C-alpha cells in the first residue's frame, strides 16, 4: 500500500457511452430513492472499463453528478479500493501476488522477470504502452502458487521461465490460455490424484 493520488495529467472530460449510461441507470434503480450513492462502486468499475482501465478526475465528477454525491465522497471510494487505478495503465495490467504462499513458492523470481522484461517501475507503463505491473496481496489462488493476474485472467503455477514465455506471448499479441501454465487441471495435485481415484460406487471400503 502507498499513498494513492489522482494522476497529474487528466483528460478534459469524461462521459459514459449511451450503453454504459443506460446500464448505470439500471444500477441506480436497484437502490431505494435517495440511496443512489450505493451504486458508486459499480459505476466506478464500469467507468474504469470504459476509460482504458483507469479512473480519471472528470470521471469522478461525472459519477458524483450522476449519483447526487459530493465529489469528495466519490474520491474517498476511488482512493480506498486498490482495484481502481488512478493513473493510465498498459494494455496488459500484471498483478503479481506477493502474499506468503506465492512468496514461499517463488513469487520473487516471477517479480524479477517482470521487472527485467518490462524495465519500468510498478505503476508505470512500458514505452510501447503494452504493459504495466503492480504487486498485490493474496488473489486467492494459493494452490497454484505462484501466480499473477493479467487483466481479468489468472496465470498460475509460474516460475521464471514460464513467466518470461507468458510475457513474450502477450508482447507478440497472442492471448495465452489462462489457468495453470504447467498443464495441470485447475488445482488438482501436481503428481496426479491421491484420492477419489476410483469411479463412483467402487470406493468407500473402509468406512
Partner 1 sequence: MPKLTIDGTEVEVEPGASLLQACEAAGKEIPRFCYHERLSIAGNCRMCLIEVEGGPPKPVASCAMAAADDMVVHTDSPMVKKAREGVMEFLLANHPLDCPICDQGGECDLQDQAMAFGTDGSRFAENKRAVDDKNMGPLIKTEMTRCIHCTRCVRFTTEVAGIYDLGATGRGEDLEITTYLEKAVMSEMSGNVIDLCPVGALTSKPYAFTARPWELSKTETIDVMDAIGSSIRVDARGSEVMRILPRINDDVNEEWISDKTRFIWDGLRRQRLDTPYIREDGKLRKAGWGEALQRVAEKVKAAAPDRIAAVAGDLACAESMAALKDLWDALGSPHIDCRQDGAQLGGGERGDYLFTSTLSAIDTADALLLIGCNPRAEAAVFNARIVERSRLGGFAAASIGAPIDANFPCAQLGAGPATLRELIAGEHSFAKTLADAEQPMIIVGMGALARPDGAAVLSAAKQLAANVGATGVDVLHNAAARVGGLDLGLLPGEGGRDVAAIMQGAQAGEVDLVYLLGADEIDMNGLGDAFIVYQGSHGDAGAHRADVILPGAAYTEKNALWVNTEGRVQLGVRACFPPGEAREDWTILRALSDFVGHTLGYDDLSGLRARMIELAPHFTEIGTAGQAVAGAASEGAAMADTPFDLAIDDFYLTNPIARASAVMAECSALAQVAAQDKEATGTHG
Applying CB under 8 A, the residues found at the interface with partner 1 are 1-4, 6, 57, 61, 64-65, 70-73, 75-76, 79-80
- Whose Cβ is closer to partner 1: residue 138's or residue 169's? 138
Nearer to partner 1, 2 or 194 (CB): 2
Q: Which residue has the cell 449519483?
A: 67
- CA distance linking residue 21 with residue 42, whole number of Å: 12
**Residues 148, 105: Cα–Cα separation, whole Å:** 13
- The CB-of-109 to partner 1 minimum distance in angstroms stands at 28
Measured from the CB of residue 193, what is the shortest distance to partner 1 in angstroms?
42
Q: What is the C-alpha end-to-end distance of the chain, expressed in Å?
A: 50
State which residue, 113 or 134, has the beta carbon closest to partner 1.
134
Beta bridge partners of 93: 132
For partner 1, give the closer residue by CB, 75 or 167: 75
Contact criterion met (CB below 8 Å) for 158 and 166: yes
The distance of closest approach from Cβ of residue 137 to partner 1 in the complex, given in angstroms and rounded to an integer, is 12
Amino acid at each position: 500500500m502507498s499513498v494513492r493520488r489522482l494522476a497529474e495529467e487528466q483528460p478534459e472530460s469524461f462521459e459514459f457511452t449511451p450503453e454504459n449510461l443506460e446500464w448505470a441507470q439500471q444500477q441506480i434503480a436497484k437502490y431505494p430513492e435517495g440511496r443512489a450513492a450505493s451504486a458508486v462502486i459499480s459505476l466506478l468499475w464500469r467507468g474504469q472499463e470504459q476509460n482504458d482501465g483507469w479512473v480519471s478526475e472528470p470521471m469522478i465528477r461525472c459519477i458524483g453528478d450522476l449519483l447526487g454525491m459530493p465529489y469528495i465522497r466519490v474520491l474517498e471510494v476511488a482512493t480506498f479500493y486498490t482495484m481502481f487505478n488512478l493513473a493510465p495503465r498498459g494494455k496488459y495490467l500484471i498483478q503479481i501476488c506477493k502474499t506468503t504462499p506465492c512468496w514461499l513458492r517463488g513469487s520473487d523470481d516471477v517479480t524479477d522477470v517482470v521487472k527485467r522484461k518490462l524495465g519500468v517501475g510498478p505503476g508505470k507503463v512500458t514505452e510501447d504502452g503494452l504493459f504495466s505491473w503492480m504487486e498485490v496481496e493474496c488473489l486467492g489462488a494459493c494452490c497454484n502458487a505462484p501466480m499473477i493476474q493479467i487483466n481479468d485472467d489468472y496465470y498460475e503455477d509460474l516460475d521464471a521461465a514460464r513467466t518470461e514465455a507468458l510475457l513474450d506471448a502477450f508482447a507478440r499479441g497472442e492471448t495465452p490460455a489462462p489457468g495453470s501454465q504447467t498443464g495441470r487441471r485447475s488445482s488438482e495435485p501436481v503428481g496426479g490424484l491421491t484420492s477419489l481415484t476410483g469411479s463412483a460406487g467402487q470406493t468407500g471400503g473402509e468406512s
